Structure 1
Amino acid sequence: MDMKLELIPVPVSDVDRSKTFYVDAVGFHLDHDVEPGNGMRIVQLTPPGSACSIAFGIGMTRPDAAPVHGIHLVVDDIAAVRELLRARGVDVGPVRDLGGVAYASFSDPDGNTWELQSLAGLRGL
C-alpha cells in the first residue's frame, strides 16, 4: 500500500502577502491560485524539485489554527540555499550541525517555521 504525502495545508492570515513571500522570496512554484466559489480561494505552491506542495487560502484552515512548525526542505548545499534566501530578504538563521546533519531555520510572515536540512552536513561551509 502506497501513501504519498502530496499537500500540507499552511495557515496564513494574508493570502496575497504569503503568496508573495513563498513565490518571490523563497522561490516556490505557483501551481494554482483559484477561487472555486462561496468566497473560497486556494493557493497551491511547490518547492523546486519537490513532489509535495503546500496550500493556503480563504476557507482552507480555521481562523484560529496554530502555525505549522518544522516543515523540512531537504537541500544538497545548505550554505548556498541559505545565502540565496537571505539575498531575497528571508531571515534565515545560522547553520547548525546536529551530528553530521545541518539545519538552518526561517519563518514565514505568520510564524510557520521551516527547516533547511542537509544530509551532507556542513559541506561547503
Structure 2
Amino acid sequence: MDLKLEMIALPVSDIDRAKAFYQKAGFRLDVDHTADEGFRVVHFTPPGSECSIVFGEAMTSAAPGTPQSLYLVVTDIEEAHAELTGRGIEVSEIFHDAGGLFHGHEGGDVTHHAPGQGRLAGLHPERASYGSFLTFSDPDGNGWVLQEVSQRLPGR
C-alpha cells in the first residue's frame, strides 16, 4: 500500500494575511474558495512539492502557530536563503547541528535541534547532504525548516 502525504492543514488567525505571506514566499496558489458563510479554503503548494498546505475557516481546531518543524527540502540552501530574503521573507541564518540522534550516518544529521540546543552557525563543514538548515515562520508562528539535501539516503 502506498501512502502519500498530500496535504497539511495549517491553523491561521487571519486567512488573507496568511495568503499574502505564502504568495510572497513563492508558494503556488491552487484554490481560494468560499463555499458558504463560515467556510473558506485556501490551498497552496510549495514549488516542486507534491504535498500542499491548506488553511481557512473551519479547517482545523489547532491553535495558530502550533505546527513546528514543517520540513521543505532544497538542493542549495544558500540559493534558497537568497531567494526567500529577496522576496522579503525573514529567515534565520544558515546553520548546522553539533550532533544529534542521527549524527554519524553518511551525510551528517537528518534532523535539526531547537534553537539553543546544538545549533552551529553556517553551512555543514563538509556541505554534507541533510546537514545544513534555515528556518522561517509565517505570521502566525507556524514554523518551517529548509534542509539541504543533495544526495538522498538509500531507499528514499
TM-score by length of 2: 0.72
> 1:19 corresponds to which residue?
19
The equivalences for 1:95-106 within 5 A come to 95-98=94-97, 99=108, 100=128, 101-106=131-136
Deviations 1:31-83 (Å, cap 9, x if unpaired)? 00001224200000000110000000011112645520000110011101111
Kindly indicate whether the alpha-carbon contact (under 8 Å) linking 2:10 and 2:64 is maintained by their aligned counterparts in 1. Answer: no
Structure (1 or 2) with the greater strand fraction: 1
TM-score by length of 1: 0.89
> 1:60 corresponds to which residue?
59
Identity of aligned residues (%): 46
Kindly report the root-mean-square deviation, in angstroms, between the aligned alpha carbons of the 2 structures: 1.6
Aligned length: 120
Larger radius of gyration: 2
Name the SS of the counterpart of 1:51 in structure 2: coil
Distance change in 2, residues 1:65/1:97 (3 Å): closer
Of 111, 114, 125 in structure 1, the residue corresponding to residue 141 of structure 2 is 111
Structure (1 or 2) with the greater helix fraction: 1
Kindly indicate whether the alpha-carbon contact (under 8 Å) linking 1:102 and 1:120 is maintained by their aligned counterparts in 2. Answer: no
